[in-house]
Amino acid sequence: MKTLCLAVCMALAAQAHEVKSLKVKILSTMLADGAGYGEWGFAALVEVDGRKILFDTGAHPNTVLNNLPELKVDLSDVEEVILSHHHYDHTAGLVRLREEMSKKNPKALQTAHIGQGAFIPRNDIEGKRMLYIKRGYEQAGGNFIEYTEPKEIHPGVWLTGLIPRKYPERNWSGSRKLVMPDGSTPEDNLPEDMTLVIETSKGLVVIAGCSHAGIVNILEHARTKIRKDAPIHAAIGGLHLFNATDETLRWTATKFREFGLQNLLGAHCTGIEAVYKLRELTGLGRKTAAVGALGGGFDLATGLDPGTIAR
């Protein structure tokens, strides 16, 4: 009896923070089909149990802002933004969006969640741009919260914190350097790379910006630290596999199958060829694996909506 109670109580506790509703809509990516502008960048609006969160902000200061009317999206009631990492194609819209939206609502986009390491000086232009964006955002009344560890920011809504690089996926340029306080210049492996993970009754939904930590490392971390061995219901966003070899894609697909991946919406740097290869290699179908276009997205109730052009 005691054992049964323990098992039931543990099961109930495990379900306590599963979200009931979840919608994701892409506001910046490369593939666009008439409504709005495409770019090499990423941004998405996440609506979870009635709460709206912006994930990344696009590659130009005005892209997401200009896409909003055509996509029939309002960000003035969104108070939080998650920045997956410091690269300009994910952070360029931050200051403009905060400035514009705060005219309607002073609390709009006032909190930015970001992984620790995003503000380390770099030897390249993007590192300098991030420090410039930080200054502009804070001058516009925004506050950054930095993370190293996984954190449940709302019931069932998790930030991964920094991601251990268990497998050598090496999804970054290799030519850029961090400039540390002691003057050393180690390789910039995007130490701040952070992902959004949402607990649902169908498994984990993972929303990634560029997956510089490696999508397999990200999913493994989520299944270790957020919910042990949970199936991955959906992987959405930039998986940084556009230049992956067939061997890497085969290995990635093997891991996806092992992790029980049920849906794949590959936008931004995932790569079009990579999405279709992964669809074939994982045994997913047209309704469960697609390229994510501008305005497309995902709904926990109905599944993927890749956007008109990508169906």
- Indicate which single residue of 22, 54, 78, 87 sits in contact with Zn ion (rule: CB under 5 A): 87
By CB under 5 A, is residue 113 in contact with Zn ion?
no
Is residue 80 a contact residue for Zn ion (CB under 5 A)? no
**Cα–Cα distance for residue pair 124/134, rounded to 1 Å:** 16
Residue 192 engages Zn ion in binding (rule: CB under 5 A): no
Contact 71, 34 (CB under 8 A): no
**CA distances (Å), 7 to each of 10, 56, 256, 292, in order?**
5, 39, 29, 40
Selected range binding Zn ion among 30-38, 81-89, 125-133, 148-156, rule: CB under 5 A: 81-89
C-alpha distances in angstroms, 109 versus 77, 137, 246? 8, 10, 40
Q: According to the binding rule CB under 5 A, does residue 210 interact with Zn ion? A: yes
For residue 31, what are its two tokens? 């593939």
* Phi, psi angles (nearest 5°) of residue 138: -70, -35
Binding region for Zn ion (CB under 5 A) out of 48-56, 80-88, 101-109, 153-161: 80-88
Residue nearest to Zn ion (CB): 87
Beta carbon of residue 31, minimum distance to Zn ion (angstroms, whole number): 14
Q: Pick one of 39, 56, 89, 192: the residue that binds Zn ion (CB under 5 A).
A: 89
Of 89 and 192, CB closest to Zn ion? 89
Is 223 a binder of Zn ion (CB under 5 A)? no
Q: What is the DSSP letter of 310?
A: G
Please report how close the Cβ of residue 58 comes to Zn ion at its closest, in angstroms: 10
| Start-to-end Cα distance in the chain | 51
Q: Write out the residues near Zn ion by the rule CB under 5 A.
A: 87, 89, 210
